[in-house]
Amino acid sequence: MTTTFHNHIAGQWQPALGGARFEDRNPADERDLIGLFPDSGAEDVQVAVAAVGQAWPAWAAASPEVRANVLFKAADLMSARAEAIAAELTREEGKTLGEALNESRRIAANFRLYAGEALRLGGETYASEAGQMVLSLRQPVGVVAVITPWNFPLSMAARKIAPALAAGNGVIFKPSEVTPLMGQRLVEVLLDAGLPAGLLALVHGRGASVGQAITASRGIDALTFTGSYQVGRQIAAALSTDTRCQLEMGGKNATIVLGDADLDKAAAIIRRGAFGLTGQACTGTSRVLVARPLYAAMVEKLAETARGIRVGRGTAEGVGMGPVATAQQYEKVLNYIDIARAEGARVVTGGASLRESDPALAHGYFISPAVIDGVTPQSRLMKEEIFGPVVAICPFDDFDEATTLADDTEYGLAVSLVTNDLQKVIAFAQRTQHGIVKVNSPTGGVSLNAPFGGFKHSSNQAAKEQGGANVMDFYTRIKAVYLGG
């Protein structure tokens, strides 16, 4: 029997007002129907925004301990449910069970981090005239809209919703229509932890309907979004000028292998960055820049590494890479392989659909991990975000050229340097136009308490996500108070 899920608005589970629904299917087997979800519209958004607008002032007036205790309880519940939710995440999004467990377990840590921030949230005092004191207060902004992508449907949502709630805001949450079940499970955890009715609205639906209705609403005080640059640009243009906006919008991340690098170490770093999570991470490695003396050996080493990755269902033993998440993404990745050949590049290994070659994979969106060389710095594979298991390799002649090539993209999210030369590490970290710089580690993977965000088209340069106290800059307004005089 097919399970039907609902929105959560004004403290009640309810279908879309228009009655429409959409299907959620398993990318490893498109025959597997996970459930039916509300295909909501503008009227659902209006009701949700109004309900959250009524609920948040009481939450803002609650003591910090009350808000912290709800988040601490949510962390405990998430820890208890992590394995069950991870299994559902693998079924819904396709990542391996190990990757799903890492993500589900990380949510509890997110909740605990921001529970602590609720207790630490405070202002400052300033030097002033005799007989007078000047201080600042942090107060919630009000109604925060959270729009998240499908590739990290739990962690992206938690690192936005948790600080919003910790600061005393209400939240309207639109998860991706590709992974609606994960949005459902996250909201269930928070409600079971005692979050007040109406404070968190869950509105399922498509970006073209729900997303646009959210950006058009004048009841939204702040909006935080992670997704493509194209959609982020549309959101920024649609919002009113007094609505706070935080946009994180992807990357075209490079790993640079300098001449002193160990090839085995470099290959392992690139494997994790390029093919972990099926290459579907905004911080994933899609470009590899290699010192020319190491280039031929590095190409062969990477090809050997890619061939050693077993592709299959994320729940199967020994599988190192699952399917891409959607039919659209499947077609996009294969199209880029065709583009590479048309541009004269060489597909060293991979880049093939596995539907016909393996009967066990015939109904999923499986593609073998691709290593491509013979790419020029101006090729589309070096410029455009593919978001799949494809890595393009290009040589460089010296350190200055490597730095220039790494920055030669409209994005500036993450970059990795593989070397033992400390002076070059320092010089590169100061010069590169990327918001995250990794040394001898993959471009992907970040700390919960470190600032997250990119430069150029990777971000709109609002307050950073994550990072402890500074993350609260987006979710709070600062008020100056003068005492005495």
Amino acid at 320: G
Joined tokens for residue 20: 């429409």
311 strand-pairing partners = 321
d(CA 32, CA 92): 10
Q: Which of 270, 281, 265 is nearest to 329 (CA)?
A: 281
Task: Quickly tell me which residue has 């949005």 as its tokens.
Answer: 183
How is residue 470 annotated by DSSP?
Answer: G
Long-range CB contacts for residues 424-431, cutoff 8 Å, separation at least 24:
424/258, 424/399, 427/399, 428/256, 428/399, 428/403, 431/403
436 strand-pairing partners = 414
Grouping H, G, I as helix, E, B as strand and the rest as coil, residue 93 is: helix
CB 131 within 8 A of CB 113: no
CB 185 within 8 A of CB 207: no
Joined tokens for residue 231: 């959609």
Q: Which backbone phi and psi does 449 adopt, to 5 degrees?
A: -100, 15
Q: How many CB atoms sit inside 10 A of residue 478's CB?
A: 11
Domain boundaries, the chain: 7-249+460-484, 253-439
CB 221 within 8 A of CB 243: yes
**Which of 88, 92, 99, 248 is an active site residue?**
248
Q: What is the pLDDT of residue 468?
A: 64
* H/E element, 76: helix 64-93
Amino acid at 27: P
Which CATH superfamily groups domain 7-249+460-484? Aldehyde Dehydrogenase; Chain A, domain 1 (3.40.605.10)
Separation in Å, CA 315 to CA 24, 42, 101: 18, 38, 11
pLDDT 10s per residue in the chain (485 long)? 899 999 999 999 999 999 999 999 999 999 999 999 999 999 999 999 999 999 999 999 999 999 999 999 999 999 999 999 999 999 999 999 999 999 999 999 999 999 999 999 999 999 998 889 999 999 999 999 999 999 999 999 999 999 999 999 999 999 999 999 999 999 999 999 999 999 999 999 999 999 999 999 999 999 999 999 999 999 999 998 899 999 999 999 999 999 999 999 999 999 999 999 999 999 999 999 999 999 999 999 999 999 999 999 999 999 999 999 999 999 999 999 999 999 999 999 999 999 988 999 999 999 999 999 999 999 999 999 999 999 999 999 999 999 999 999 999 999 999 999 999 999 999 999 999 999 999 999 999 999 999 999 999 988 889 876 688 999 999 999 999 96
| Predicted structure pTM score | 0.96
At the topology level of CATH, where does 253-439 sit? Aldehyde Dehydrogenase; Chain A, domain 2 (3.40.309)
Displacement of CA 382 from its chain's centroid (Å): 21
Q: Which of 196, 195, 239, 232 is nearest to 217 (CA)?
A: 239
Name, in order, each residue with C-beta under 8 angstroms of 46's C-beta and a sequence gap of 6 or more. Answer: 213, 217
Quote the longest CA-to-CA distance of the chain.
81
CB 271 within 8 A of CB 317: no
Q: What is the pLDDT of residue 323?
A: 98
Amino acid at 391: V
d(CA 366, CA 349): 15
Joined tokens for residue 400: 């200055």
65 is catalytic: no
Say yes or no: do domains 7-249+460-484 and 253-439 share a fold.
no
